[in-house]
Amino acid sequence: GQNIDQPTEMTATEGAIVQINCTYQTSGFNGLFWYQQHAGEAPTFLSYNVLDGLEEKGRFSSFLSRSKGYSYLLLKELQMKDSASYLCAPMDSNYQLIWGAGTKLIIKP
Amino acid sequence: DVKVTQSSRYLVKRTGEKVFLECVQDMDHENMFWYRQDPGLGLRLIYFSYDVKMKEKGDIPEGYSVSREKKERFSLILESASTNQTSMYLCASSQYTPDRVSNYGYTFGSGTRLTVV
């Protein structure tokens, strides 16, 4: 079957660094996406990894290990506006995104 | 700017009503999806479509139907609305080919928060 596992909720302090982990199992694999979703809004694209390694984009970085079925999203210099849910979504062999329940990130001053 | 537009941001309907949720995309994407999202459950796929007049059931199609008469429009229909269909409904589209899908995966509309009373 297909399965995504990420923590339900995390708390971090403004200015700090936080790492959100994701493990997955899918039928085939065409890359992994991370999305950000603020409360009451639609998910928006953050990053895409298809090869192993780290992709850096400003304050956000995403890592992928295909052999381990593992990814993480690293957020640096946290700001209050980073309070949101973060969705890990691998893409299966049919080019469909498989969604977990997401990780709610709470930033405290 | 690429866009997926959902016709209503908030909707209140009565039990038993037939409800239409409309979604239009301007990116010439082949794939379109309807999800519902409930607290703690994440995104659940209702129906999807890979082409005009084509539809496939997702994980939770019961109580819903869809229509895709034109490439840019994908409609979700609640045949007889019930209170357990109160939810946030999200439409998304994507391009089939890997070189385009990698740009952003799915593009979502802003969502329709439906309340059935």
Of A49-63, B58-72, B84-98, the least confident: B84-98
> What average pLDDT does the structure give for chain A?
94
Residue B105 and residue A89: Cβ atoms within 8 Å? Answer: yes
Q: Which one of A9, A24, A45, A62 makes the best mutation probe of the B interface by having the most chain B beta carbons within 10 Å?
A: A45
C-beta separation of A50 from A33 below 8 A? no
> What mean pLDDT is predicted for residues A72-80?
98
Residue B33 has pLDDT above 90, yes or no: yes
**Chain B residues touching residue A89 (CB < 8 angstroms):** 105
CA distance readout (Å), B21 to B71, B74, B91: 16, 9, 9
pLDDT at B104: 65
> Burial letters for A13-33: b for 16+ Cβ neighbours within 10 Å, e otherwise?
eeeeebebebbbebeebbbbb
Residue B101 has pLDDT above 60, yes or no: no
Chain-centroid distance of CA B45 in Å reads 9
Residue B100 has pLDDT above 70, yes or no: no
The residue assigned the tokens 């909720």 is A9
pLDDT at B99: 61
Q: Which of residues 53-112 of B touch A (CB under 8 A)?
A: 88, 90, 94, 96, 98, 101-111
> What mean pLDDT is predicted for residues A64-91?
97
C-beta separation of A90 from A81 below 8 A? no
B99: enclosing H helix or E strand: helix B98-104
**Chain B residues touching residue A47 (CB < 8 angstroms):** none
**Chain B residues touching residue A35 (CB < 8 angstroms):** 105
**Residue A52 CB contacts under 8 Å (≥ 6 apart), including other chains:** A64, A65, A66, A67
Q: Using the 8-state DSSP alphabet, how is residue A3 labeled? A: E
**Chain B residues touching residue A45 (CB < 8 angstroms):** 104-107
The residue assigned the tokens 């539809």 is B55
pLDDT at B93: 93
Beta-carbon-side half-sphere exposure of residue B73 (alpha carbons within 13 Å): 9
> What average pLDDT does the structure give for chain B?
91
pLDDT at B2: 62
Nearest to B109 among A42, A95, A96 (CB): A42
CA distance B85 to B104: 29
More confident residue, B44 or B100: B44
pLDDT at A68: 96
Strand runs labelled E in A32-102: 32-37, 44-49, 53-57, 60-65, 70-75, 84-90
Instruction: Report the length, in residues, of chain A.
Output: 109
